[in-house]
Amino acid sequence: MTVPDVTVITAVYNTMPYLTRCLTSVVEQTIGLDRLEIVAVDDGSTDGSGRELDRFARSYPGTVKVIHQANSGGPAKPSNRALEVATGRYVFFIGSDDYLGPEALERLVAAADRYDADVVLGRMVGVNSRYIHQAIYESTQPEVDLFTSPLPFSLSNTKLFRRDLIEQHKLRYPEDMPVGSDQPFTIEACYRARRVSVLADYDYYFAVRRFNAHNITYKSRHLERLHCAESIMDFVGGLIEAGPRRDAVLLRHFAWEVARLLENDFLALDRPTQASVQAGVRSLAERYLTDTIRDQIGIETRVRLALAWHGELDDLLAVIRQDADQGNPPAVVEDDRWYADYPGFRDPRLGIPDQWFEITGSAADWIARLDTVSVAFEGTRALVVTARSPRPDLPHLASALKIVAGDVPAESTELVPDITGTTIRARILLAGLLTDLAPGGKLRLIQARIDAFGTTGTAPLRGPRRTVPQRVVVRRGARLHVLTATTNHKGQLIVAVAPVTPRRVMARLRRRLPLGGK
């Protein structure tokens, strides 16, 4: 029997109707069914996903293999079970609500053979405003290093892996992690690989955010995510010895997984949960947070980590409330050194070194931090954003200031100083927001760009304190798009652009109508 070039593995739990598109995108790959094997593990689905898998297995005998098992609570166990039966030279993992570009597998396998790579990444794009970190996909690179590239910020398992690498090092998913179990697998694969390659010449993988967001990753809570972060970081600590290489990987986890535990929604947790999360973050900081990592983390996260580590719970809450409720704190300037005057700065009770609060190297970024006062659509022509800086001298400090939505600059930006600060009013044309869209739409972050101190500073606009999403439907050619101005999970102002599709309309109706449609 001929060995297939690639085995595609998917762990499935209640992903209808997205599963159909996922499987269709795989069986229709240009690589051809004779070079392809699909192993799908139904993890106790109750929505008909299992029946849909069986339908594909009947339609594509010898190509689609289906395994049914009781629900395990996460993707680790079904992924491991699929690995036990995979026979392809390479293995590719796909989320059962995601889908592939038609030529994805053919291109990935060809690249792996051409570069003799053990791991190959193909450019991922987000659908329905799902965020995908794009730094690693700036250009095609035959070889990237785990420690000197943005690879640590792209650690999902949605990559092509040489199966010999997996079996040689007995790589498997930790089954005690309900979320994040792909990270230890991917980290060790990239660490052990002879070569990791990146392809940025094609949209290989479409990562879908479901309308109902019932994905286990979206539903996980603070304590679950804390356990996930602890497990991943301890794994890295055991795999890579202390030093610059370990720091290069763990920077991602302090800047992302740990930082997310201390975002503004921390304020809504009950106090015992807050205390447990702080204790967990403190423990991680004591073990892994080096000065090298600290100095590469943005000021908001850095100060929250400082107070989680060195302060009491109320000290941490005060810092988060400063950002969430009061806006930017003032800056302290001494001998050309800039510091953010957050609660805890030079508090003798805490004794936190000034370096935790220093913003000298990013002073332009600091004065670019604006608080959104209002955001509104001007019919179907423009989005008008009004923001506020606490600095009356902003027009003097900044030789230029622009508001941009992603890469779309505002048509006009006006600055009006007064004795307490500066008001900024920007008008962004909607026509620009409708350009360069992926099939599932696009999410654009609203940012301020300021030329000051001989450099350019950039900062996302912080959303209004009481966010009410603003929506408008705009026609572009024959298609309708809905534009939504709202905030992301970090409290930053964004505009989400998405095509109006029958599935989106039905999902919206299901949310609005009671059972029975009455």
Give the pLDDT confidence of 66-103 residue by residue, as tens digits.
Answer: 999 999 999 999 999 999 999 999 999 999 999 999 99
What's residue 234's pLDDT?
Answer: 98
Same domain, 386 and 294: no
Residues 447 and 500 reside in one and the same domain: yes
Is residue 339 scored above 90 in pLDDT?
yes
**147 exposed, middle or buried (CB, 10 Å; 0-12, 13-18, 19+)?**
middle
| Sign for the pseudo-dihedral over CA of 77, 81, 84, 89 | negative
Q: What is the mean pLDDT of residues 276-280?
A: 98
Q: What angle do CA 322, 405, 364 make, to 5 degrees?
A: 50
On the question of pLDDT at 297 being above 80, the answer is yes
Positive or negative, the CA dihedral 45, 49, 52, 58 is: negative
- Do the domain assignments include residue 127? yes
Predicted confidence band of residue 218 (pLDDT cuts 50, 70, 90): very low
272 within a domain of the structure (yes/no): yes
Q: Which of 493, 481, 486 is nearest to 469 (CA)?
A: 486
Q: Which residues contact 348 (CB under 8 A, 6 or more apart)?
A: none
DSSP code of residue 436: S
The distance in angstroms from the start CA to the end CA of the chain is 56
- Residues 240, 313: one domain? yes
pLDDT of residue 1: 61
What are the tens digits of pLDDT across the range 379-401?
999 999 999 998 999 999 999 99
- Asked whether residue 345 falls in the same domain as residue 376, the answer is no
Mean pLDDT of 486-493: 86
The owner of tokens 């044309």 is: 429
| Residue 344 covered by a domain | yes
> How many domains would you assign to the chain?
3
What pLDDT, on a 0 to 100 scale, did the predictor assign at position 515?
43
Domain-terminating residue out of 151, 179, 212: 212
pLDDT at 504 exceeding the cut of 70: no
Q: What is the pTM of this model?
A: 0.86
- pLDDT-derived band at 467 (thresholds 50, 70, 90) equals low
Instruction: Provide the pairing of β-strand 382-389 with 421-429.
Output: antiparallel
pLDDT band at 517 (very low <50, low <70, confident <90, very high): very low
10 Å CB burial of residue 180 (0-12, 13-18, 19+) is: buried
- Assigned domain for 473 exists: yes
Domain containing 275: what range?
221-358
The residue among 212, 240, 268 that closes a domain is 212
For 29-63, how does the pLDDT look when each residue is reduced to its tens digit (9 = 90+)? Answer: 999 999 999 999 999 999 999 999 999 999 999 99
Q: Write down which residue in 306, 340, 358 finishes a domain.
A: 358
The pLDDT tens digits of the residues spanning 406-449 come to 989 999 999 999 999 999 999 999 999 998 877 777 889 999 99
pLDDT for 199 beyond 90: yes
What secondary structure does DSSP assign to 37-100, as a single string? EEEEEEES-SSSHHHHHHHHHHHSTTTEEEEEE---SSSHHHHHHHHHH--SSEEEE--TT-EE
Greatest CA separation found in the chain?
80
Q: For position 474, which CATH number holds?
A: 2.60.40
